[in-house]
Structure 1
Amino acid sequence: MFYPEEIIEEVRSRSDIVDVISGYVKLQKKGNTYFGLCPFHNEKTPSFSVSKEKGMFYCFGCGEAGNVITFIMKYENYTFVEALKFLAEHSGVELPEMEQSEAQKNKANKKLQILEINKIAANYFFWELGEQSGEIALTYLKKRGLSDEVIRRFGLGFAPKDGRKLYRYLKEKGYSDGLLMESGLFSADERNGAYCKFWNRVMFPIMDANSRVIGFGGRVMGEGEPKYLNSPETLLFDKSRNLYGLNYARKSKAGYLIVCEGYMDVIALQKAGFTGAVASLGTAFTSGQASLLRRYVDQVYLTYDSDDAGTRAALRALPIIKEAGISGKIIRMDPYKDPDELINKEGAEGFQKRIDEAENGFMYSLKVLMREYDMDSPEGKTKYMNAVAERLTTFEEEIERNNYIEAVAKAYHVEYEDLKQLVKKAALRLGQAKVVKRPLPTGAKKKEREDGEELAQKILLTWIADDREVYESLKDYLDKADFTKEIYREIYELLVKQYEEGSVNQAMIINHFTDDDEHKEAAGIFNSKIRGLEDVNEQKKSIIDTLQKVKERSLKEQVKALDPTDISGLQEVMKKKQALEQIRRIEIKMID
């Protein structure tokens, strides 16, 4: 725990969950609960609920759940501590110095040291760019049209051919070999010893949203492979969850962001006044990057290279962007290779014209699909329209599907009703086909079995958390050893503690879990509803059945763990088995 629980609870309780979430999601009150469109998945009908009374949110569509701290963690992509600090600042709570374990202190200190190393390295590379050894890199950047001001703004630099210069420089400042290796800047072998991975390269510092250097990208000067080299993943750098140029782009007032492929594209666009330009970091576009974009905008333009690889990359990114709840459009570069080349040829006005003419992602995918068919023959056209109809069936919402049918009919000069009938036939045809089942990942069957064993425990915790009378009825028959998962044991202990002290505060229990997944699991327990049991007697019978399952499993595990020579232990288990027979006679009380 980074902070005392009472401090965390003060921040949570003083941060009105409805007020906080209303700043991100439009909420409408229905009874005692507020509803809105879930910000964590794409939906048309509101399934995202917020309870002021419980201090928690829950999405019935995707299962995301938690308290106000969890929401900020998820939406802003913050760590627990960052979310807590954010809410503390907005609610006027002064946080004390963090309480950290030795391991936590060491990790936090190591992150700070790597940040220092990166900052020193970035300044070093910038300095080298101005030296004689960096002339080749400076000439390259000047030929690309970059001024001294732009070079300084993006912190561009040069890694010299001597890969040991930076190593010696940092060693003189007292950094250990181990820490230098963990920074991702260095490699080592028996022949050369330690040396910088980046040598003879123009250097692009990669910064997080707060302008801290978390990694580097380097373009080789002259011949050499790879042409572009990025830092490996470190304690600071996860390329699937960061975007180059976001530290500047997030401040853009344009209302949209432009996603490019390369560093130079971002620099060229921002230099030309398109301040919302960012780039993925030498990898395919990811859901983590889409979530990052979603924090700032709901409209994204993809401006990938015009070659086949760029086209494929754009088509792969579109569904990821849509899944994140972002509208995606495609900016066409033809006949130019990339945004940098287009701006050099046509200027900012030319690129703005491309933005104005940007294509809807789905319509663009149909144009790309056309390349696979002979559109000069009636047979080819028919096959193409059937393929288009199949793609139109992927829209689940009828209104959206009909809107796209209308748009496609207009674009391809076919009758709306004819195309709609073709889509219906495609849906019937696809519906009769067998669904291809995805292979289960390794260990999936075992996980499914474990989930079945744990389901009864989860249901039991839900009953107990929802009703004090149920807790009072069962407390003499349960203990923490009856729960297999550590988080279930902790939740049970916290529930017992709160009930014995007065009343349950479920949102406060969630505070105990600083891990994102644990937050979600705990909140899921507190927000689950036992469905299909309207009759009170049915509910009571279900509670008894669930308790018996939990106790039987618990006893089996205890028997397995016993030493065969442990006579007293065996006798204790026998007593517990006999007590199982009494469970059926428990009188369950419930709050009316």
Structure 2
Amino acid sequence: MAGRIRNDDVVLVRERARIDEVVREHVSLKSAGGASLKGLCPFHDEKSPSFHVTPSKGFWYCFGCGEGGDVIGFLQKIEHLSFSEVVEKLAGKYNIQLRYDESSNRSGINTGQRTRIVEANKLAAEFFVQNLNSPEAETGRKFLTERGFDKAAAHKFGVGYALKGWDSLTNHLKQKGFTDTELTLAGLSVAGQRGVYDRFRGRLTWPIRDASGDVVGFGARRLYDDDQGPKYLNTPETPVYKKSQVLYGIDLARKEIASSKQAVIVEGYTDVMACHLSGVTTAVATCGTAFGDDHARVLRRFLMDQEQLRGEIIYTFDGDEAGRKAALKAFNLDQSFVAQTFVAVESSGLDPCELRQKSGNDAIVALVKSRVPLFEFVIKSTIASFDLNTAEGRVSALRAAAPVVAGIKDVALRPEYTRMLAGWLGADSNTVVQAVGSATNSRSRISLEVEANKPEKKEMLQDTVETSMERECLKLTFQFSDLVKTWFAQLTPDCFSHQKYREIFESILSSELNEISANTAHDATEDEEQRALIAA
């Protein structure tokens, strides 16, 4: 295998890859004054943006959690990639030919694991799209037509067809140079007793892309009665596909989500297609799992680039028991944006794809506009199962709904929903206030116990006059190295009272670098905390 990527090429990748351009694929950024940009940190939950990007320096830093680094470090952390994998990914994006210090027995460039998987997925997606035009795929084309999707729609979303043969895709990709191990690692093939065979066979396929547009997996829909597999089959967990973090359609919707401050959550691939074709271009869907905390964090990065929480999350739930349970789950997620969360319920139980078939594009737009606050939907759904015409029913409904109202984290909203609950129940307002208060106190006691058992958080660097001066000293050195070289040479480690700043100074001295800069200092140390402080 090839060895270490040459340092000159790493430097070139870092120079070519604009950090603001790369970060914007994951975070909405706005001007922070001067030459800096800011947004909500993708590495911890926050309501006000403390994540700063400085394009002129090529660094990012979060003043909330203390994480920081360069464009390579950002992708390493957010996409869980190795250093080499990030460099190779960026090199491919910016058309940079990488060279390696050691010779390789393999011809061509040695690519990292992630790069190989993404490339295999890309070729698989192209293969599936070609197959959709084959005679065998007639059933698949009919499926799409019956649901209102023409050839142009299928092309827009990359819909394809997996042939029935046991190893059609596997053989195709092996001819492209991929090994059995790589194909099973990518989730495209399965290792059996008689060898490796295709995971997806005789199914319609949808490519699942990450926010940057890379194909990380597939969803596949059963078409034939003799297929004993699940209705929808997804790529298993792989180094690049994590179903708890993936949202189908995010590559198409992310820009509109960021600009409109709205995201619509639907259940399936065809629902996303129906919404986008109807003009609701902020629709995304989970892939084989319920909407969870990680999905919320993904959307939060695109939605909330203001100090005030102005983003809207709109869930499309059925008006049945399953829809109520889904709404309760959404309610119980981290409520850092639940005050702006809504539910759009189709009264007859149709999903967006079915609704578009029956009533056209305007019906989808109207459904989204008919949204109601999630809190209202959950509370009304909770009390709907009780007979409010009887005293016993009203008391039982109050007992069930009071903890729900108490669970609203926004203390400014809680009294308003308490008043509304009293009206919906036809109950005395003081009685409802007392019930919600009791439920709130109970939740507070539980929260205190949980908080007491939480592990201690990492202590953040607290600025003093001395440490502030030391930091500014290093910044001046990085920014105006030619002017301060003589002065810098007179400094000693004892001049720095803060341990990390002293270590940064020492790493510069020990590196014997001809050039003093933030980048060279960053590369001279492997300590992540030091790198974060350099990036600040």
TM-score (norm 2): 0.70
Q: How far apart, CA to CA, are the structure 1 residues paired with 2:436 and 2:125?
A: 56
**Quick one: distance in 1 between partners of 2:338 and 2:522?**
28
Counterpart in the other structure of 1:240: 244
The match for 1:162 is 165
> Could you list the per-position Cα deviations for residues 445-483 of structure 1 after superposition, in whole angstroms to 9, with x for gaps in the alignment?
xxx7xx89x99xx999999966869962999xx9xxxxx
- Name the residue aligned to 2:479: none
Q: Is the 8 A contact 2:28 2:301 kept in 1?
A: no
The reply to whether residue 131 of structure 1 matches residue 144 of structure 2 is: no
CA distance in 2, matches of 1:13, 1:251: 18
Q: Is contact 1:465–1:526 with CA below 8 Å preserved after alignment?
A: no
Paired position in structure 1 for 2:235: 231
Structure 2 residue identity aligned to 1:214: V
Matched with 1:121 is 124
1:502-545 superposed Cα distances (whole Å, 9 cap, x missing partner): xxx99779945999xx7568658999xxxxxxxxxxxxxxxxxx
Instruction: Give the 3 Å change call, closer, same or farther, for CA 43–110 of structure 1 in structure 2.
Output: closer
State which of 266, 276, 280 in structure 1 corresponds to 2:282: 276
Q: How far is 1:211 from its partner?
A: 3.3
Q: Which residue of 2 aligns with 1:388?
A: 401
Gaps of 5+ in 2: 21-26, 304-310, 471-490
In the superposition, relative to structure 1, how do residues 304 and 114 fare at CA in structure 2: closer, same or farther (>3 Å)?
same
Contact 2:208-2:248 at 8 Å conserved across structures: yes
Find the aligned partners of 2:469 and 2:134 in 1 and give their Cα distance: 73
Note the 1:176-215 alignment, pairs <5 A.
176-191=179-194, 193-215=195-217
Q: Check whether the contact 1:75–1:295 (CA below 8 A) recurs between aligned residues.
A: no
Give the corresponding residue for 2:345: 332
In the alignment, which of 391, 407, 413 is matched to residue 400 of structure 1? 413
Distance of aligned partners of 1:182 and 1:326 in 2 relative to their CA distance in 1, 3 Å threshold = farther
Letter in 1 for 2:292: T
- Given the alignment of the two structures, is residue 261 of structure 1 paired with residue 264 of structure 2, yes or no? no
* Aligned residue in 2 for 1:317: 330
Aligned CA distance change for structure 1 residues 397 and 307 (closer, same or farther; 3 Å): closer
Deviations 1:289-316 (A, max 9, x none): 2232223332221114455444423432
Distance 2:115 2:205 in 1: 22
5 Å-filtered alignment, 1:478-489, equals none
Cα distance in 1 for residues equivalent to 2:28 and 2:131? 46
For residues 142 and 34 of structure 1, what CA distance do their matches in structure 2 show? 46
Q: Is the 8 A contact 1:41 1:323 kept in 2?
A: no
Q: Secondary structure at the match of 2:401?
A: helix
Paired letter, 1:143:
E
Deviations 1:416-444 (A, max 9, x none): 6664444334334555679665998xxx9
1:278-357 correspondence runs (5 A):
278-297=284-303, 298-320=311-333, 322-323=335-336, 327-357=340-370
Alpha-carbon distance change, 120 to 42 in structure 1, aligned in 2, over 3 angstroms? closer
Counterparts in 2 of 1:434 and 1:165: CA distance versus 1, 3 Å: closer
The structure in which a higher percent of residues are helix is: 1
Q: 1:141 to 1:388 in 2, by over 3 A?
A: same
Task: Indicate the SS of the match to 1:354.
Answer: helix
Distance 1:99-1:286 versus aligned 2 partners, 3 A rule:
farther
After TM superposition, the score normalised by the length of structure 1 is: 0.64
Distance change >3 Å, CA 95–CA 497, structure 1 → 2: farther
Q: Give the Å deviation of 1:358.
A: 0.8
Q: Larger Cα Rg: Structure 1 or Structure 2? A: 1
What corresponds to 1:472 in structure 2? 494
Cross-structure match for 1:369:
382
Q: Distance in 2 between matches of 1:492 and 1:434?
A: 40
2:221 is paired with a residue whose SS is strand
2:186 paired with 1:173: no
- State yes or no: 1:144 paired with 2:144: no
TM-fit CA distance, 1:227 = 1.2
Give me the whole-angstrom Cα distance separating, in 1, the residues matched to 2:467 and 2:98: 30
Task: Say if 1:331 and 1:354, in contact at 8 Å, map to a contact too.
Answer: yes
Shift of 1:158: 1.7
The AA in structure 1 aligned to 2:504 is: L
Partner deviation per Cα, 1:9-46 (whole Å, 9 max, x = no partner): 9999999xxxxxx98368699xxx999987876667x6
Contact 1:392 1:404 in 2 (8 A): yes
User: 1:237 Cα shift?
Assistant: 2.4
| One-letter identity of the residue aligned with 1:423 | V
Distance 1:160 1:41 in 2: 43
In the TM superposition, what is the alpha-carbon distance from 1:275 to its structure 2 partner?
A: 1.7
Question: Equivalent residue for 1:579?
Answer: none
**Structure-to-structure mapping, 1:446-461, within 5 angstroms:** none
Identity, in percent, stands at 26
Q: How many residues end up aligned between the 2 structures?
A: 482
State the shift of 1:161 in Å: 1.9
Shift of the alpha carbon at 1:56?
7.6
SS in 1 for 2:248: coil
Structure 2: distance between partners of 1:408 and 1:430: 19
Q: Output the aligned Cα RMSD.
A: 5.3
Q: Distance in 2 between matches of 1:324 and 1:70?
A: 30
Residue segments in structure 1 that go unaligned for 5+ positions in a row? 16-21, 88-93, 479-487, 528-592
Q: Is the 8 A contact 2:60 2:535 kept in 1?
A: no
CA contact (8 A) 2:76 2:86 kept: no
- Report the CA distance between 1:282 and its aligned residue: 0.6
Deviation at 1:374, TM superposition (A): 4.1
Higher mean alpha-carbon deviation, 70-79 vs 198-207, is at 70-79
The answer to whether structure 1 residue 220 and structure 2 residue 222 are counterparts is yes
Q: Distance in 2 between matches of 1:48 and 1:196?
A: 46
Q: Secondary structure at the match of 2:164?
A: coil
Structure 1 residues 508 and 429 mapped into 2: Cα distance closer, same or farther (>3 Å)? Answer: same
With over 3 angstroms needed to count, the CA separation of the structure-2 counterparts of 1:176 and 1:74, relative to structure 1, is closer
Q: Is the 8 A contact 2:314 2:341 kept in 1?
A: yes
Query: How far apart are the structure 1 equivalents of 2:468 and 2:295?
Result: 38
Q: Residues 345 and 371 of structure 2 are in contact (CA less than 8 Å); yes or no, is this contact kept in structure 1?
A: yes
